[in-house]
Amino acid sequence: MKSFFSVDGKFYRFISTLWDMIKLNFLWMLFSLPIVTIGAATVAAYSVTLKMVDDTEGYVGRQFIKAFKENWKQGIPLGLLALVATYAVYLDFQLFNAVEGNPILFLIMGMIAVFVFTMAFIYAFPLSARYENTLIGTIKNSVNIATRYFMRTIALVIVLAVEIVIFWFNSTTLLFWLLIGPACLMLTVSGFAMYFFRQIEKEPGAVIEKEEEQE
């Protein structure tokens, strides 16, 4: 029987995974600092978390930087589009608060915008990390997957919301957000996304992932 504290034990694996998450989170924040590169950094982070889910990850830093170099051309436009969409959603709710009487129309528009944004982008970055496609094709596929697995996507959104509430609960949990928060959210999305990808890849005529295409 393996010792709990051995190299193959659960404690060691937990500490190793936690350290990988801290490194990944730091790299994501560092490479996102210019803001314009946040999309490429997010695609690179997803390339690592998808491998974590698949239990095929290696050196986190090396994989992240390699993925960033390979995906910056498609990651940057995707990230900028996501930022514009986020700002549009923000403006909808700002209008609701700013206009006298708080017109319900603006609230409805904001809720619709949140729904459309979620459908379009929740799987866009992991899709970009795993498959070659155009920007429009990636967003379209994200919508298709979110629609096809609608109830599971709703469950994913709920899980993400719970994680965010926990991380922002107080100053202590906020420290954990700074250490692993974004990376933890991406790992959660990757867990759901990888299941969907595996199911779709089994279908006749389905595309294969980038790594297999390059071999």
Domain segments of the chain as ranges: 10-214
Q: The pTM is what?
A: 0.88
For the chain, which ranges sit under pLDDT 50?
Answer: 1, 212-215
Q: How far apart are CA 208 and CA 215, in angstroms?
A: 11
> What is the spatial distance between Cα 145 and Cα 121, in angstroms, rounded to a whole number?
11
Alpha-carbon span 214 to 107, nearest angstrom: 47
Q: pLDDT tens-digit profile of 155-207?
A: 999 999 999 999 999 888 899 999 999 999 999 999 999 999 999 988 876 66
Q: Which of 40, 13, 52 is nearest to 186 (CA)?
A: 52
